[in-house]
Chains A and B, each alone.
Chain A
């Protein structure tokens, strides 16, 4: 065998994002920025009541306002069919956020429900005219308070794929008898989506009204395509949905919210393209957020700190028209071994904007409660919280009774403790200070399942030695396109610069919603399948070609590298794609592929983990909390791109700091209205709230996943609020179980 230098692949290298330059130079085109001739502008009118009927809707003033083309209401809107609700129990596809037939009904189901669309020549004209629409309602009693409706709570059939009530042994009994126990209620407030790009839809019909093109800020182009085809009775292939760049999604663009089909309906009526961009307030009112949670976590332990009972139960809110559960008990299913377990999630139905996905739905509030409780137990027992976790580390998945495909939590804590200097922490609260600032340190575990969904891709290898792959995947700033380009380069043996990945277009092969941190793996597997197909085609050409040095080889005897195909056992024998395609007078070779999770996902418990370390400074006089240090050590399989992955974790941690300290949608239960729908009053963390966040990752591949990788998009937010709350306890001796940890709770 001849010696050769194996060039390191693209996977694992910290490439800068392929879309980065476009974005910082303003060349990335977002949904609202597509240039379409003769476009008209839409603005929504929102209901002012939470439940009732529209008695009368007075539109003449709006219609007569300057520039107004149309005021669309339930009285004149075209029919839009009912389509499956995404994220609910429905097996059918579709992206609808709710079963409400917006503008095909006079019923009002929540305060902020769009009840009219005004279309005008300019945005300002449309917005002004929207204020002139006067609606009279027949109000009904609305259900708006989670606490009040608890007696009528329902047990969902399942919370995505898992039972909503799960008992192993007798947890309450064990708790009652336990030597050590903690048993507390943890609450998290409603959180709203605040991606920097406002939701936007630009719809353009063909003249014959048989086909439709929609530019949409969505995490699910195929879902929106399906939904619109059904709603407007079009052939699916005649609906094209494009969302090339999405300015942050975080789950808020996973569903199609009311404005999407309403924009399409308006464009149909005015026979012109219509663009509708929600205002920031419009996002808060008509796009759902994360449900508040009320969670009970009870832990019992024996004298050596082994859990004898783990109880995690509680309530979230949703609506009759979307039924979306926030699976906050997921972490408790996988993180700790306990003799007795009881997990239960109930849902309360309210008259509110449908709740939805938000970065790690479930795991993010769930880890706050569970990881706070573990810390409370550790304090109660006088055991180091890392040690307590180690003593309860399961060797098999506790509820599934399956082996883990990969799990290195202990190692993550070991590395993290050393990097952070955990041994220097004082375990006793209020014992570290710097002038008027109390200092505290806390840890918590991050957890998110590793999901793979079915996906498809196609690839073209060009005669010039470059390649393009396509899939209807999404790039919302996560680095997906970069990671897929790295994958593509390695699969074909090309350099990173020779490949390009195209996405965000329903004309491309199927890709699932960008949710569940599945994209990299799902699409990655599909790209590999498509590359395999193309590679087989190439080998099929040369393997039987007299002119090729590869004639007579079997597929497993060749490899693809450096822009060509070579014998494995003789690196001098082979030829470039360029040479092959020229000889066969082809300008490209195409491959197609599909991939779906294999049987492993049934046979193994697959998850990602992290060990989080946080230091806070608390102003003893005013109660103000600032995070001064944060370290996340992640166990997420092989890391495709250290740079983009680290950005994902940093972003998740930043969002987690907001969840811990500042964020809360103020929902006024008198009218069911959110009263802080602006970036000035809905407090996201600003630069000064976010310290230098240190990231480390173990980079240990999962032997059972494509590329050995796991998704990294959502795990970053999990555990963060608990790490902060635990650090606040260590600093102040006050245990805050009700987020956000605002200063008034510490006075």
Chain B
């Protein structure tokens, strides 16, 4: 690991100040991703600004029924939060299906949003990787790409975003609150992460001097009928090959409201808007679920080892919607 300077910020303004003042600086939260990447010599910051002392560790109800999640709320706290479990079960489930208990105890909301891909070639400093070293090429294109993207990839990068939490946030229409040098702004979750295009080194639309302060969930009463399904190579402690976050409201057999997002398939959590269009207002049955899934995956493209993800994603969407339709119908 390369030597670095370390500073601790006690408030957001200082944190932003420190990051603007120092060259090649990074925020440090739980460290479960950043420290790993530093040990692997992939991230080599000269300065770390520890933000874990910032007063941003609360989950708060907002007037109007929404919820604000502080950037420093630990993943395990968020998953265990009673309001989240009741009103947004998809989020609680997504977090609990990620990583391990120990990692979730350290990991924060902000850090989870900013975690980097698990592409093998991103991790191997001897490999070519446009995300790690722009312009070098992409060894995943012709290499092992079983875990890679089937939607929205480019010839420069076929990596996926590994987060489970973010897939649930995408389904829930969350907004990310950030603060930069003197400016605060909000970014809708679907615009927070980027597709790779020809600049895969940039994961998100967060500016280098911006700090995530919170994530806001809108009031979404029907999200009580929501769930997360993660399909993976072992029962726990593995990233998603495909995951589905969904919330569904069925009234008199007709789909009144639906939110659907996919994980493990793209450079960002994939909000399935095409499928949602097919579903909204339609009769809730297996056939429409299949049609919706197929519609969403029309644009999908498989590579040497990951074509199975297309069918897997379709099947998982159908399975989740079926489950929600029968459970929601029962309520």
**A residues touching B (Cβ–Cβ < 8 Å)?**
48, 66, 124, 127-128, 131, 436, 621-624, 626, 661-662, 666, 668, 670-671, 673, 675-676, 678, 680-681, 683, 685-689, 742-744, 747
**Shortest CB distance A290–B (Å):** 19
Q: Judging by beta carbons under 8 Å apart, are A686 and B234 in contact?
A: yes
- Give complex CA distance A18, B1 in Å: 39
Proximity string of chain B (279-316) to chain A, C-beta cutoff 8 Å, 1 when within and 0 when not = 00000000000000000000000000000100110011
- Give complex CA distance A180, B238 in Å: 42
14 cross-chain CB contacts under 8 A: A124-B1, A127-B1, A128-B1, A131-B41, A622-B231, A624-B232, A626-B235, A671-B127, A673-B127, A675-B144, A681-B118, A681-B123, A689-B234, A742-B233
* Nearest-CB residue, chain A, relative to B40: A281
Asked if A675 meets B120 with Cβ closer than 8 Å, knowing A689-B235, A747-B312, the reply is yes
Q: Is chain A's binding surface mostly helix, strand, loop or mixed? A: loop
- Give complex CA distance A676, B308 in Å: 20
A676 contact set on B, CB distance < 8 A: 120, 144
A622 contact set on B, CB distance < 8 A: 231, 312, 315-316, 319
Q: Judging by beta carbons under 8 Å apart, are B234 and A673 in contact?
A: no
Q: Judging by beta carbons under 8 Å apart, are A747 and B142 in contact?
A: no
* Nearest-CB residue, chain B, relative to A688: B235
**Shortest CB distance A163–B (Å):** 38
Given contacts A622-B316, A678-B123, A681-B118, 11 further A-B contacts (CB under 8 A): A48-B126, A128-B2, A436-B319, A622-B231, A622-B319, A666-B144, A683-B234, A687-B236, A688-B234, A689-B234, A744-B308
Q: Judging by beta carbons under 8 Å apart, are B126 and A673 in contact?
A: yes
B124 interface residue per 8 A CB criterion: yes
Asked if A621 meets B316 with Cβ closer than 8 Å, knowing A673-B126, A686-B237, A743-B231, the reply is yes
Proximity string of chain B (121-140) to chain A, C-beta cutoff 8 Å, 1 when within and 0 when not = 10111110000000000010
A680 contact set on B, CB distance < 8 A: 118, 237
Q: Judging by beta carbons under 8 Å apart, are A743 and B233 in contact?
A: yes
- Give complex CA distance A464, B124 in Å: 60
Q: Is chain B's binding surface mostly helix, strand, loop or mixed? A: loop
How many A-B pairs have beta carbons closer than 8 Å: the answer is 81
B253 interface residue per 8 A CB criterion: no
**Shortest CB distance A272–B (Å):** 23
**Shortest CB distance B129–A (Å):** 11
Give the most central of B41, B127, B234: most A CB within 10 Å: B234
A671 contact set on B, CB distance < 8 A: 126-127
**Shortest CB distance B92–A (Å):** 18
B241 contact set on A, CB distance < 8 A: 743
**Shortest CB distance A52–B (Å):** 14
* Nearest-CB residue, chain A, relative to B99: A680
Interface residues of B in 106-128 (CB under 8 A from A): 118, 120-121, 123-127
Asked if A662 meets B142 with Cβ closer than 8 Å, knowing A128-B2, A680-B118, the reply is no
Proximity string of chain B (251-271) to chain A, C-beta cutoff 8 Å, 1 when within and 0 when not = 000000000000000000000
* Nearest-CB residue, chain B, relative to A684: B234
* Nearest-CB residue, chain B, relative to A67: B3
- Give complex CA distance A685, B127 in Å: 27
**Shortest CB distance B316–A (Å):** 6
A128 contact set on B, CB distance < 8 A: 1-3, 41
Q: Which of A670, A678, A681, A685 contacts B142 (CB 8 A)?
A: A670
**Shortest CB distance A118–B (Å):** 14
- Give complex CA distance A676, B236 in Å: 18
Q: Judging by beta carbons under 8 Å apart, are B235 and A686 in contact?
A: yes
Proximity string of chain B (145-182) to chain A, C-beta cutoff 8 Å, 1 when within and 0 when not = 01000000000000000000000000000000000000
* Nearest-CB residue, chain A, relative to B306: A744
- Give complex CA distance A66, B232 in Å: 43
- Give complex CA distance A66, B233 in Å: 42
Q: Judging by beta carbons under 8 Å apart, are B234 and A661 in contact?
A: yes
**Shortest CB distance A280–B (Å):** 10
- Give complex CA distance A686, B146 in Å: 21
B55 interface residue per 8 A CB criterion: no
**Shortest CB distance A307–B (Å):** 36
- Give complex CA distance A398, B147 in Å: 46
- Give complex CA distance A673, B120 in Å: 11
- Give complex CA distance A66, B3 in Å: 10
- Give complex CA distance A356, B174 in Å: 51
Q: Judging by beta carbons under 8 Å apart, are B231 and A681 in contact?
A: no
Asked if A675 meets B121 with Cβ closer than 8 Å, knowing A686-B234, A687-B236, A747-B308, the reply is yes
**Shortest CB distance A615–B (Å):** 15
**Shortest CB distance B230–A (Å):** 10
Proximity string of chain B (52-77) to chain A, C-beta cutoff 8 Å, 1 when within and 0 when not = 00000000000000000000000000
Q: Judging by beta carbons under 8 Å apart, are B120 and A688 in contact?
A: no
B208 interface residue per 8 A CB criterion: no
B221 interface residue per 8 A CB criterion: no
A66 contact set on B, CB distance < 8 A: 3
Closest 6 CB pairs of A and B: A688-B235, A744-B308, A675-B120, A688-B236, A621-B319, A48-B126
B315 contact set on A, CB distance < 8 A: 621-622, 747
* Nearest-CB residue, chain A, relative to B236: A688
Q: Judging by beta carbons under 8 Å apart, are B120 and A666 in contact?
A: yes
- Give complex CA distance A668, B124 in Å: 12
A675 contact set on B, CB distance < 8 A: 120-121, 124, 127, 143-144
Q: Judging by beta carbons under 8 Å apart, are A662 and B120 in contact?
A: no
A747 contact set on B, CB distance < 8 A: 308, 311-312, 315
A687 contact set on B, CB distance < 8 A: 236
Q: Judging by beta carbons under 8 Å apart, are B123 and A743 in contact?
A: no
**Shortest CB distance B106–A (Å):** 15
* Nearest-CB residue, chain A, relative to B143: A668
Q: Judging by beta carbons under 8 Å apart, are A685 and B234 in contact?
A: yes
Q: Judging by beta carbons under 8 Å apart, are A743 and B144 in contact?
A: no
**Shortest CB distance B289–A (Å):** 12
* Nearest-CB residue, chain A, relative to B41: A131
B2 contact set on A, CB distance < 8 A: 128
**Shortest CB distance A580–B (Å):** 56
Interface residues of B in 227-247 (CB under 8 A from A): 231-238, 241
